[in-house]
Structure 1
Amino acid sequence: MRDVMNAVLAVVVSAGAAIVVVEIVHWLLTRAGRKSELAADLARTAHKPFLAAVTIFAVQQAIRAAAGEFPGRGGVLHALVIAFIAAVAWLIAALLLVLEDAALSRWRTDVPDNLKRRRFKTQVVILRRVTVAAIVILTLGVVLMTFPGIRTLGASLLASAGVISVIAALAAQSTLGNVFAGLQLAFSDAVRVDDVVVVEGEWGRIEELTLTYVAVQVWDDRRLLLPTSYFTTKPFQNWTRTGSAVLGTAEIDVDWSTEVEPLRAELRAICEGTELWDGRVCVLQVTAAIDGKIRLRALVSAGDAPALWDLRCLVRERLVGYVWQHQRDTLPRVRADVLTTGTSAGTTVPRPAAPLPAAEPDAPGDARVFSGDHDGQARGAQFAGPEEPTVRR
């Protein structure tokens, strides 16, 4: 009975001393966290796993040193060894997460021109998930190796590991495919966190990218969940792969008699009067002339996709209002010539149509997409293809 009391007292004292030491370290880190974000994050994240690891280790050593032989001693020590392995794995995972959070805090994505930052964030997020999964698997392996029977069995199963791995790969083919697809996405820059994409006819942003699925936040706050293999096997649109600036159009149909130049000047005034326009592209062109109507396409640019959507709606609204106020006679109409034969007084003679406005000899820059100004010429050069080779004689 005396040995049991001594063992219990040793365990209590060791656990108490471990808790005191951990709390002192936590207090020091908390004070240091007032000046260092890394220390503050370390104090928040690693406190519990550090407390568990130190306390379990202290109790284990106290039992080994102070407690004599008692029923179930081997089972208690084995359980403490397993708990200590789990606590150490928890602590390692917490420390790695703190380091990853520190790296992400230095590469924030809520800044302009964040292409490299989004790439880094995507890779860190994927590596975080791989790290946690690897720590869990290794911990389970180390725990199983503490059982003598499983340790002996592992040597005999080593010879058949190839067959087992093939069977497991066939059984989990879809899951493994998604895992490798997630790693491929993280390091191929095909898609990153916060990228604006169009998938399955839905426009949204990449909200979360894991090893098995990708969560797309649709513009109306719905969530579209897709397997990671979708982005490696099917085509999709990525609007922010090389930059967030994009182009967009707003189209209206008007009559053939419409004067285009006043509308072109109005489009320029609309773009220059709003902060949604980024100052790059503001072009109005006639893109179709069929069925008695002409189609005007306003091509504008914005710094990102949300601003572009609002700018397109604004341009369309203002152009429609301008046509209604200043060129109401040019609204789309259906024409018909009515001609009756005969010499009676009621003969109807078709009225000659008014001449269309003469086109200017050279269209201004606001009427060109791939020429006219420096930006248009640069855009045209991207789609012009290679130059013809010079043939030497």
Structure 2
Amino acid sequence: MENVLRPVLVIGIALALALLAGWLLDLLLRKADARHPETPLWGLLRRCGLPFRLVLGTALLRGSYREAGVLPDHTVGVGRALTLVMIASTAWLLVGIATAIVDASYARYASGAPDDARVRRVRTQVTLIQRVVTAVVVVVAVAAMLLTFPPMRTLGASMLASAGVLGIVAGIAAQAALGNLFAGLQIAFGDTVRIGDTVVVDKEWGKVEEITLTFLVVRTWDERRITMPVSYFTSKPYENWSRGGAEMTGTVFWHLDHSAPVALMRERLTDILKDVPEWDGRSCGLVVTDTTPHTIQVRATATAKDADDIWTVRCAVRERMIGWLTEHHPYALPRVTTTEAAPRP
């Protein structure tokens, strides 16, 4: 009688402890979810209750089945079965936790992102990463399960070894592709360049329109699309005008005669900027930056809230200043002297 009651009692206690621990965990997650409604993480982790109970119950039985005398004539088979169940349930639990973390992060991001296209793009990238993690966990779990069988240990070890050899071969054969993949992950998590940033690459000015794990698309001002490998942005210098804030300071240069009325131009610059709505009013200035035997170089500066507005400000200042000089001070425009210089007194 004891040979029957003891195994039943051990199995019942293990199942009861697993159910109790699962209930307590679910209670804690429910309270955490109620206290932190801003994130769905705790509610999503409640989905992992079943694999958690299975892992805990299997681990308790795995550690006590010999002493309890569960099927004493088949201890090897019982131990191997419990090990297989524990490996599979652990993989299930890990995949569930990873999925909950990814889904919670995405949901929190999507709730505050106004751009629906960008949200879909992030969702695609997140789904890809999640599938890669799931595949890795499943392969490792299957290999570990095969290693529990003595005749299959060679096969399990060969799977891991072949996977490593294939990984090395694939890495050598697709070095550029893997470099772009890791560069894409570096950009995604390093926040060096983002969608909507204004950048200058290969002397081309444009906005980042799309970022994937392997390539990046820049839309130029004339609506061309430049597709570049993401490794370019991790191995070469480039200008990011939106990094640290979109505000910019623009410059306009003129080459004028030495007699140009610089003081009047400085006053005129202020009047011009007052009529340009794209100027943000932060600062402006006009100075002489260089001189040559025939001309002087005059530089004007103005500010705007982003790259698009600073371009408009620069064009307006350049055009209106030249028009004002032509109309009121034509002598200030550069010219070639064809008469003899005044004699020295």
TM-score normalized by the length of structure 2: 0.60
User: Residue 122 and residue 256 in structure 1: after superposition, are their counterparts in 2 closer, same or farther (change >3 A)?
Assistant: farther
Q: Please tell me whether the aligned partners of residues 276 and 316 of structure 2 are also in contact (alpha carbons under 8 angstroms).
A: no
1:293 corresponds to 2:295? yes
Structure 2 counterpart of 1:229: 231
User: Residue 271 and residue 135 in structure 1: after superposition, are their counterparts in 2 closer, same or farther (change >3 A)?
Assistant: farther
Structure 2 counterpart of 1:107: 112
SS of the counterpart of 1:204?
Answer: strand
1:281 corresponds to 2:283? yes
Q: Which runs of 5+ in 1 are unaligned?
A: 1-37, 39-91, 111-117, 340-349, 354-393
Amino acid at match of 2:329: Q
Q: Please tell me whether the aligned partners of residues 282 and 303 of structure 2 are also in contact (alpha carbons under 8 angstroms).
A: yes
Structure 2 counterpart of 1:265: 267
Distance 1:268 1:124 in 2: 48
Q: Please tell me whether the aligned partners of residues 279 and 301 of structure 1 are also in contact (alpha carbons under 8 angstroms).
A: yes
User: Residue 225 and residue 137 in structure 1: after superposition, are their counterparts in 2 closer, same or farther (change >3 A)?
Assistant: farther
Distance 2:109 2:319 in 1: 42
User: Residue 139 and residue 309 in structure 1: after superposition, are their counterparts in 2 closer, same or farther (change >3 A)?
Assistant: farther
SS of the counterpart of 1:158?
Answer: helix
User: Residue 132 and residue 277 in structure 1: after superposition, are their counterparts in 2 closer, same or farther (change >3 A)?
Assistant: farther
SS of the counterpart of 2:286?
Answer: strand
- Pick from 197, 204, 207 the counterpart of residue 206 of structure 2: 204
SS of the counterpart of 2:283?
Answer: strand
User: Residue 162 and residue 97 in structure 1: after superposition, are their counterparts in 2 closer, same or farther (change >3 A)?
Assistant: closer
SS of the counterpart of 2:210?
Answer: strand
Q: Shift in Å at residue 329 of structure 1? A: 2.1
Structure 1 counterpart of 2:129: 130
Q: Report % sequence identity.
A: 41
Distance 1:138 1:220 in 2: 47
Structure 1 counterpart of 2:310: 308
SS of the counterpart of 1:165?
Answer: helix
Q: Shift in Å at residue 336 of structure 1? A: 3.9
Amino acid at match of 1:104: Y
**How large is the RMSD of aligned CA atoms in angstroms?**
4.1
**Higher relative helix content:** 2
User: Residue 132 and residue 161 in structure 1: after superposition, are their counterparts in 2 closer, same or farther (change >3 A)?
Assistant: closer
Distance 1:330 1:160 in 2: 78
Q: Which runs of 5+ in 2 are unaligned?
A: 1-38, 40-96, 145-151
Q: Shift in Å at residue 98 of structure 1? A: 6.8
Amino acid at match of 1:201: K
SS of the counterpart of 2:176?
Answer: helix
Amino acid at match of 1:102: A
Amino acid at match of 2:158: S
Q: Shift in Å at residue 263 of structure 1? A: 0.8
Q: Please tell me whether the aligned partners of residues 104 and 121 of structure 1 are also in contact (alpha carbons under 8 angstroms).
A: no
SS of the counterpart of 2:228?
Answer: strand
Distance 1:122 1:269 in 2: 45
User: Residue 156 and residue 135 in structure 1: after superposition, are their counterparts in 2 closer, same or farther (change >3 A)?
Assistant: closer
Distance 2:120 2:205 in 1: 22
131-140 vs 242-251, greater mean Cα deviation: 131-140
**How many residues are aligned here?**
248
Q: 1:32-47 counterparts in 2 under 5 A?
A: none
Amino acid at match of 2:253: E
